């Protein structure tokens, strides 16, 4: 790690490339934390990531490990293929809510249900960032997006999918946690969750899933600061932040 | 209409994506199903806003696989149905399109093409010509493919697509590109009452007062699939005879012929005008239907001219159909732009004059 | 008449809305009009640009290679786009944010500062439009003012006033 003048330390697994994410975007923080965990567990040289189609499609510019790019939503299936071919490598997918919970929901559920030995990092920002702020499966009821111009209405558009809760009904997953990038404490908790998830894979324990509630100021149509409040407030109310499964055992709220 | 500025003489400034969406509404499209993808996002956003306002169905599906299957369902129930996407999403729709074709179901599909293969980029491209015109999905079928070059054509062709689809019980694709989708031009909207679709006695609406019927693409009985496929081919022949459409510019006396479709056709026209101004006898053929393809007209023009220049934003796809049509009667040259770059009038003009000088 | 116009600046400077406004008004009197925005990833980088073509005849290529008018509002776009100006073309340069060697026919105008003084830097795009129209009178200034008034109608009448003033300031500076 190198310390810059401001005291910020860039993890070795993070490249120097300036990130293209908008100001206040949760992807930037999530990338840094992920890189720190790869450093701390000393696994970056045997890790293969699978980038989604979404704003994080360019993750290979930022993370210093091997990265493949999957077709939209097929991310966990690609990760499955890699892990089955190279079982001693560390394999993760990094996905947005559109990629993971809409077009790739089947792949998400079946990879979890098979207990694939992979880590899924799920960035839930309630919108499709890359395509211009359309409704996502996790969009809150009433939230206005490009394709729910009068606000999401559950009677015809469904309600927000709670992915941790859904996956927690399956037998195979080993570790499931939801965290929020809404504050300093949230950042620390996110780092800890990622570390636990990757540690589980290093030890060959099974499937691990970390959902990160994350800001998209651009399509929340709020300032970065207001966006953090939205993440910790309305979003966390809909998506409770907690550990759902630990060491293969479902924890009930 | 948001984003639309109404002007005198009823010209309206719209993007190609919005113009197609508005045409569908005016053509009586009852159900729209889509999934976001650039560069057609304005289309789905327009439908999200306006379909419910007209009391019609709008669903943002969970994927393109789901969206086209929803179209399949709405169509077999007798409704006018549409979906739209861009290249990677259209690949996913191929399964559903094959089933629509096999079941002889009408549907309208808009492809605002972007660069490929794979994720490619989001710039305008014409790389999906093979996919659109040669089947795309599995099995022995065709769909009607229309190629707009302007916002007005985006509007008019989408409007007509619904009638063609119902008339022949066939999927119709609008094969546009990011340029036509994103561009704004003032257009005249289709006016008057929505066309009345033909009766659809084949639709599944419940067997009240009639024997139950079935819509299927599985034919296990001996000889049944062969019979079905021959019937499809007979329908394709009827379409080719009656509905092959093209635009010609200065072809009567031309010695040098440009063949191009969509955006390239429009740019080709600019190059022809420039060439004519310099005394070069240039002409243009722009197929408006890519399937059915104007083989016969091209064959005749091929016999007339000194050489042909095909211009496409790909590595040579319509080129193969042009060669097939001309059948060696005259040299066929190619100018291709496969990376999302749109040729300029001078690019095409220079390629043409290089031929003339040869 | 065949006028190829490029407008460029950074996201948030109202580049695309200015292009749309211009195209919409032009369509009322000019037979052929196209408007093409740069879209997608190109926009996320922070720059924004669009092209408007106005013509008496059918527009074959809706994207131009060379422009009769270029309006640049920030340094990055000035550096990138001024090279595409026609020999006889006119450049309108937002002096507040650009420092570049100016082409032969040019107008330097502190659009952002003028707009700021009037009450909103977001009105700088209309200062640019005014300055351009002073040299290329292709649209009636009253039509522009009416369009601004109706755009801000109801929601923010104060903004309408600022924007109209900005437009007039540009028109005066350009003339
Ligand atoms: C088959 C296919 N359909 C659609 C798209 C367009 N597309 C790109 S990213 C995306 C969704 C992005 O949203 P999300 O997964 O929530 O990630 P975010 O951008 O918010 O990080 C879509 C629909 C595509 N690339 N491929
Ligand atoms: S659009 Fe949203 S998710 Fe995408 S980079 Fe910007 S803030 Fe992040």
All structural domains of chain C: 2-174 (3.40.920.10)
Ligand 1 pocket mutation pick from A58, A98, A143, A211 by most atoms within 8 angstroms of CB: A98
Domain annotation covers residue A137 = no
Q: What is the CATH number of the domain that holds A221?
A: 3.40.50.970
Does the structure show a pLDDT above 70 at B7?
A: no
Domains within chain B, CATH numbers bracketed:
5-191+232-241 (3.40.50.970), 248-357 (3.40.50.920)
- Of B7, B122, B186, which is closest to C41 when you measure between CB atoms? B122
Query: What's phi and psi for B237, nearest 5 deg?
Result: -65, -40
Pocket of ligand 1 (CB under 6 A): A 52-56, 72, 96-99, 123, 125, 127-131, 136; B 35-37, 64, 88-89, 92
Atom of ligand 2 at shortest range from CA of A96: 3
Q: Which of residues 101-140 of A touch C (CB under 8 A)?
A: none
- Of A73, A128, A157, which is closest to B63 when you measure between CB atoms? A73
Query: What's phi and psi for B333, nearest 5 deg?
Result: -105, 165
- Report the nearest-CA residue for atom 4 of ligand 2: A129
Q: Low-confidence residues of chain A, pLDDT below 70?
A: 1-7
What pLDDT is stored for residue B1 in this prediction?
Answer: 37
Which pLDDT tens digit goes with each residue over A99-149?
999 999 999 999 999 999 999 999 999 999 999 999 999 999 999 999 999
Give Rg (Cα) of chain C: 15
Task: Identify the residue among A96, A100, A149 best suited for mutation to test binding to B, counting B beta carbons within 10 A and taking the highest.
Answer: A149
Tell me the pLDDT of chain B averaged across its residues: 95
Best CA proximity match to B333, nearest among B314, B318, B311, B349 = B311
| A57–chain C Cβ distance below 8 A for any pair | no
Task: Give the distance, in angstroms, between the CA of residue B163 and the centroid of all CA atoms in the same chain.
Answer: 14
- Report the nearest-CA residue for atom 7 of ligand 2: A216
Which pLDDT tens digit goes with each residue over A39-54?
999 999 999 999 999 9
- Spatial neighbors of A6 by CB under 8 A, at least 6 apart, are none
Asked whether the beta carbons of C108 and C92 are under 8 A apart, the reply is: no
Domain annotation covers residue A139 = no
Does the Cβ of A21 fall within 6 Å of ligand 2?
A: yes
Does the Cβ of A128 fall within 6 Å of ligand 2?
A: no
> Quick count: other Cβ atoms within 10 Å of Cβ A14?
22
Percent of chain B with pLDDT over 70: 97
Domain annotation covers residue A95 = yes
Domain annotation covers residue A84 = yes
pTM: 0.92
| A221–chain C Cβ distance below 8 A for any pair | no
ipTM value for the complex? 0.90
What average pLDDT score do residues B289-296 get?
98
> For residue B271, what are its two tokens?
């190059």
Number of domains composing chain A: 1
Residues on chain B bordering chain A, Cβ-to-Cβ distance under 8 angstroms: 35-38, 41, 44-45, 48-49, 52, 59-60, 62-65, 88, 118-119
- Report the nearest-CA residue for atom 6 of ligand 2: A22
What pLDDT is stored for residue A3 in this prediction?
Answer: 55
Domain annotation covers residue A10 = no
Domain annotation covers residue A205 = yes
Domain annotation covers residue A176 = yes
Of the two residues C37 and A96, the one the predictor is more confident about is A96
What pLDDT is stored for residue C40 in this prediction?
Answer: 60
- Report the nearest-CA residue for atom 6 of ligand 1: B37
Residue B10 — very low, low, confident or very high, per pLDDT cuts 50/70/90? confident
Which pLDDT tens digit goes with each residue over B105-162?
999 999 999 999 999 999 999 999 999 999 899 999 999 999 999 999 999 999 999 9
Which pLDDT tens digit goes with each residue over B21-75?
999 999 999 999 999 999 999 999 999 999 999 999 999 999 999 999 999 999 9
Domain extent for A221: 15-129+157-250
Report in angstroms the alpha-carbon separations of C165 from B6, C108, C115, C126, C154.
25, 19, 9, 9, 18
Does the structure show a pLDDT above 50 at C125?
A: yes
Which pLDDT tens digit goes with each residue over C61-113?
888 889 999 999 999 999 999 999 999 999 999 999 999 888 888 999 999 99
- Of B45, B62, B65, which is closest to A146 when you measure between CB atoms? B45
Does the structure show a pLDDT above 70 at C43?
A: no
Domain annotation covers residue A7 = no
What average pLDDT score do residues B247-252 get?
98
């Amino acid at each position: 790690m190198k310390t810059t003048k401001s005291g910020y330390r860039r993890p070795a697994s993070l490249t120097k490339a300036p990130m293209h994410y908008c100001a206040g975007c949760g992807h930037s923080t999530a990338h840094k934390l992920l890189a720190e965990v790869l450093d701390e567990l000393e696994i970056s040289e045997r890790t293969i990531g699978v980038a989604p189609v979404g704003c994080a499609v360019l993750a290979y510019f930022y993370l210093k490990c091997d990265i493949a790019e999957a077709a939209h939503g097929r991310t966990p299936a690609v990760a499955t293929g890699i892990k089955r071919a190279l079982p001693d490598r560390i394999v993760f997918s990094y996905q947005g809510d559109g990629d993971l919970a809409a077009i790739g929901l089947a792949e998400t559920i079946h990879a979890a249900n098979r207990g694939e030995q992979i880590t899924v990092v799920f960035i839930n920002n309630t919108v499709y960032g890359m395509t211009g702020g359309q409704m996502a499966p996790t969009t809150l009821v009433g939230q206005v997006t490009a394709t729910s111009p009068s606000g999401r209405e559950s009677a015809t558009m469904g309600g927000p999918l709670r992915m941790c809760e859904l996956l927690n009904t399956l037998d195979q997953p080993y570790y499931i946690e939801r965290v929020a990038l809404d504050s300093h404490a949230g950042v620390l908790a996110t780092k800890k969750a990622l570390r636990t998830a990757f540690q589980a894979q290093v030890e060959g324990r099974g499937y691990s899933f970390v959902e990160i509630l994350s800001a998209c100021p651009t399509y929340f149509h709020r300032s970065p600061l207001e966006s953090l409040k939205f993440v910790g407030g309305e979003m966390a109310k809909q998506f409770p932040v907690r550990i759902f499964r630990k060491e293969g055992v479902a924890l009930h709220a | 209409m948001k984003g639309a500025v109404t002007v005198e003489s009823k010209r309206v400034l719209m993007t190609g994506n919005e113009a197609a969406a508005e045409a569908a509404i005016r053509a009586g499209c009852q159900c729209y199903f889509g999934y976001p993808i650039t560069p057609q996002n304005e289309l789905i956003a327009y439908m999200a806003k306006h379909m419910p306002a007209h009391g019609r169905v709008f669903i943002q599906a969970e994927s393109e696989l789901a969206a086209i299957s929803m179209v399949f369902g709405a169509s077999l129930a007798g409704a006018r149905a549409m979906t739209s996407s861009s290249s990677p999403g259209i690949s996913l729709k191929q399964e559903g399109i094959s089933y629509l074709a096999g079941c002889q179901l009408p549907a309208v599909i808009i492809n605002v093409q972007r660069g490929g293969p794979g994720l490619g980029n989001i710039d305008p491209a014409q790389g999906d010509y093979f996919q659109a015109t040669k089947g795309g999905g599995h099995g022995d079928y065709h769909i009607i493919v229309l190629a707009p070059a302007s916002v007005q054509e985006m509007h008019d062709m989408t409007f007509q697509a619904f009638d063609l689809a119902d008339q022949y019980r066939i999927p119709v694709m609008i094969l546009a590109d990011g340029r036509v989708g994103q561009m704004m031009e003032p257009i005249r909207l289709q006016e008057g009452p929505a066309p009345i679709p033909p009766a659809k006695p084949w639709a599944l609406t419940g067997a009240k007062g009639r024997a139950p019927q079935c819509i299927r693409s599985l034919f296990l009985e001996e000889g049944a699939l062969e019979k079905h496929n021959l019937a499809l081919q007979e329908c394709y022949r009827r379409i080719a005879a009656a509905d092959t459409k093209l635009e010609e510019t200065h072809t009567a006396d031309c010695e040098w012929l440009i063949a191009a479709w969509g955006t390239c056709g429009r740019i080709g026209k600019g190059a022809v005008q420039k060439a004519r101004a310099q005394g070069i006898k240039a002409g243009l053929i722009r197929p408006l239907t890519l399937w059915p393809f104007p083989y016969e007209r091209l064959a005749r023009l091929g016999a007339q001219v000194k050489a042909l220049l095909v211009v496409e934003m790909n590595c040579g796809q319509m080129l193969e159909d042009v060669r097939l049509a001309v059948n060696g009667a005259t040299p066929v040259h190619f100018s291709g732009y496969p990376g999302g770059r749109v040729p300029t009038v001078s690019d095409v003009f220079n390629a043409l004059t290089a031929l003339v000088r040869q | 008449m065949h006028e190829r116009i490029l407008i460029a600046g950074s996201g948030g400077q109202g580049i695309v809305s200015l292009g749309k406004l211009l195209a919409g008004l032009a369509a009322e009197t000019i037979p052929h009009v196209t408007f093409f925005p740069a879209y997608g990833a190109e926009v996320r980088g922070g720059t924004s640009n669009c092209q408007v073509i106005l013509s008496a005849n059918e527009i074959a290529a809706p994207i131009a290679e060379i422009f009769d008018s270029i309006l640049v509002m920030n340094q990055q776009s000035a550096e990138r786009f001024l090279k595409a100006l026609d020999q006889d073309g006119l450049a309108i340069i937002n002096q507040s944010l650009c420092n570049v060697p100016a082409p032969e026919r040019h107008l330097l105008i502190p659009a952002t500062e003028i707009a700021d003084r009037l009450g909103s830097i977001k009105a700088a795009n209309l200062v640019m439009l005014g300055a351009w129209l002073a040299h290329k009178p292709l649209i009636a200034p009253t039509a522009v003012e009416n369009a601004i008034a109706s755009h801000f109608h109801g929601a923010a009448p104060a903004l309408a006033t600022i924007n109209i003033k900005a437009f007039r300031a540009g028109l005066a500076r350009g003339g």
